[in-house]
Chains A and B, each alone.
Chain A
């Protein structure tokens, strides 16, 4: 690996992540390794390593990190967050990193789709007449879509 000049990295990145919702406690990490040791995803895909991700944030490796596809492989199981002795709340940090990636346009395709679906129909799955008929057959109440609220709340 070629040598990286620490001065070429952005020391402010860690403060910016700490400014994001969910990322507030990122700098509390003292690299004990418990999160990576208990992470179920790391066992299957070693590239996804919570301690390594935190270290990349602290050292300012912003671009190298946010383009990584493994940011989206966290199963949000909160095991790291429950075991962290410094309350870094790493699962929330992952959400914060994903938000930053989305803002830089680095998110996987599917993600933007969720935003559009919700801003249009307020639901992930369309609820039309066909669905409501099936529900009535089974004696279940109709579902009334109410997308207006979501359109107002989520307009860009």
Chain B
């Protein structure tokens, strides 16, 4: 492992994004004294913070603050610039950028990805084409917001709403083709209210669920109903769309009256599919930054909360993680700023101070470790090195390494070996027929449950010892075979539940290896029921007790029967 002295933390932060979250992150980090390079893929920053400002956020103060960012000497802005690639490790990333035809590299200590979402209208889903009568939520939002202020281009946007006069009907189709989200609903509610008041039109909102799980939205929903907005809810995809020439006819059944209706709206507003830009999705793949099931930033793993990615030094904030209200994006901007501040000036966490060594003599540079590292913390020049800031000390590389060349201080193979021999001596001294069992468990989950069980009273039917692993992924098949050879009657392997592993797949690796071990021992005639694998989180103490009380008893029965036979 390179030593901490060999690595540096360049006090520069690269922020990528074209909206409020990116700007607020920049503002906060400047306040904390950092140098900022802000990359905006678009021409200028989107202003949709003002409308709908559900829940009050003083728009003017933010606008003014962001307006003054450029005067700060520690702030550099490149707009209409693309993020090509990210190389290097936490503290020293080489980011390749491209503007017009010019390409160059910036070296920064940390990166914050705070992109806005690209919204493409669901015209195909509804087999419709955009027109003055059919537009997306985003277009209507821009038209209504700007028609308020004097931004040029208002005239053109205004005409699209010219058709709206009293007693005209506006239909919103939101969260029907796919389950909705709180941003689209917040926009729909505030637009419904605004159009209702401005043009006295009868607004109809078609949706599956009215999303009100944000401060102020339930009151806004109630205000809309008070002002006459009608809500039609569906369990499926909602109204059937029929085209007859220019007219679009909605056929639907009102769920409360179980009565078929039809409506030819004067304005039809569709929601959009929200996604990352193609470019950014490509970057995530190339830089091996994990995304979630929908290709949005930050996978569904609670250990990454609030703004971490699977790679140290790279943080994620704002709508890029999923549609959210502008106000929440500002919250995440500050949380991301703190995580950057922690990275640079925070005390190194105790777990991160462990030494991880690569024995040059054994290492054959087969790059297995590099391929298996979930945190992209391993590099090689003429030899393998593990980057101390990027490495999360999970140990997956150590157990995958065919040559056992990698050791983690506190969890080295020799240290595990010495624990096992101590268990053997203990078992030899105490002559008992009761089962002798060793548990291998992840320190984050099984370790916590084990400590809690130690503090409480329970009667375990035999001898039980616990070996803590940095992550279940550190489990080495040799450990299990050795401990069985040393006389253990049973072995338990405990890992965090799937998708709950801080190192992404340490738990499923452990399960895979456990299956291999069971096949080995089965061939040798060993009763496979004497080794057991369980997914267990830190608050599943009841399951640990179940293992210790019921399973140990069964194991006792098995041993006596076997020794009797």
In the complex they form, whether A and B have CB atoms below 8 Å apart is answered with yes
In contact, A51 and B259 (Cβ under 8 angstroms): no
In contact, B251 and A3 (Cβ under 8 angstroms): yes
In contact, A27 and B257 (Cβ under 8 angstroms): no
Please report the C-alpha to C-alpha distance between residue A62 and residue B554 in the assembled complex, in whole angstroms. Answer: 73
Evaluate whether A5 and B263 lie within 8 angstroms (CB atoms) in the complex, with A55-B257, A59-B257 already known. Answer: yes
Tell me, yes or no, whether B236 is within 8 Å of chain A by CB: no
Tell me, yes or no, whether B458 is within 8 Å of chain A by CB: no
Tell me, yes or no, whether A1 is within 8 Å of chain B by CB: yes
Tell me, yes or no, whether B202 is within 8 Å of chain A by CB: yes
In contact, B264 and A7 (Cβ under 8 angstroms): yes
- Nearest CB of B to A11, in Å: 4
Evaluate whether A15 and B228 lie within 8 angstroms (CB atoms) in the complex, with A7-B169, A28-B222 already known. Answer: yes
B235-276 contacts to A, CB under 8 A, are 251, 254, 256-257, 259-264
- Nearest CB of B to A93, in Å: 15
Please report the C-alpha to C-alpha distance between residue A14 and residue B230 in the assembled complex, in whole angstroms. Answer: 11
Tell me, yes or no, whether B204 is within 8 Å of chain A by CB: yes
In contact, A28 and B167 (Cβ under 8 angstroms): no
Tell me, yes or no, whether B225 is within 8 Å of chain A by CB: yes
In contact, A29 and B225 (Cβ under 8 angstroms): yes
In contact, B169 and A1 (Cβ under 8 angstroms): no
Residues of A within 8 A of B257 (CB): 52, 55-56, 59
Residues of B within 8 A of A3 (CB): 251, 260-262
In contact, A28 and B260 (Cβ under 8 angstroms): no
Residues of A within 8 A of B261 (CB): 3-6, 59
- Nearest CB of A to B428, in Å: 69
In contact, B256 and A1 (Cβ under 8 angstroms): no
Residues of B within 8 A of A5 (CB): 261-264
Please report the C-alpha to C-alpha distance between residue A31 and residue B169 in the assembled complex, in whole angstroms. Answer: 22
Residues of B within 8 A of A2 (CB): 260
Tell me, yes or no, whether A58 is within 8 Å of chain B by CB: yes
In contact, A6 and B225 (Cβ under 8 angstroms): no
Residues of B within 8 A of A29 (CB): 225
Number of A interface residues at 8 Å Cβ cutoff, please give it: 22
Tell me, yes or no, whether B350 is within 8 Å of chain A by CB: no
Contact size class for B?
A: 20 to 34
Please report the C-alpha to C-alpha distance between residue A58 and residue B528 in the assembled complex, in whole angstroms. Answer: 67
In contact, B263 and A7 (Cβ under 8 angstroms): yes
In contact, B225 and A28 (Cβ under 8 angstroms): yes
In contact, A27 and B226 (Cβ under 8 angstroms): yes
- Nearest CB of B to A50, in Å: 11
Residues of B within 8 A of A11 (CB): 167, 202, 228
- Give B231's nearest chain A residue, CB to CB: A30
A121-145 vs B, Cβ < 8 Å mask (1 yes, 0 no): 0000000000000000000000000
- Give B233's nearest chain A residue, CB to CB: A31
In contact, A55 and B228 (Cβ under 8 angstroms): no
In contact, B260 and A31 (Cβ under 8 angstroms): no
Please report the C-alpha to C-alpha distance between residue A124 and residue B169 in the assembled complex, in whole angstroms. Answer: 49
Please report the C-alpha to C-alpha distance between residue A78 and residue B227 in the assembled complex, in whole angstroms. Answer: 26
In contact, B264 and A30 (Cβ under 8 angstroms): no
Q: Which of A51, A52, A58, A86 has the most CB of B within 10 A?
A: A58
- Nearest CB of B to A36, in Å: 10
- Give B255's nearest chain A residue, CB to CB: A31
Can you name 20 A-B residue pairings with CB atoms under 8 Å?
A1-B260, A3-B251, A4-B259, A4-B260, A4-B262, A5-B261, A6-B169, A6-B261, A6-B263, A7-B169, A7-B263, A14-B228, A15-B228, A28-B225, A30-B225, A31-B256, A52-B257, A55-B256, A56-B257, A59-B254
| Chain B residues in the interface with A (C-beta under 8 A) | 167, 169, 202, 204, 210, 221-222, 225-228, 230-231, 233, 251, 254, 256-257, 259-264
Beyond A6-B263, A31-B233, 13 additional contacts (C-beta under 8 Å) are: A1-B260, A3-B261, A4-B261, A5-B262, A6-B262, A7-B264, A27-B226, A27-B228, A28-B225, A28-B226, A30-B221, A30-B225, A52-B256
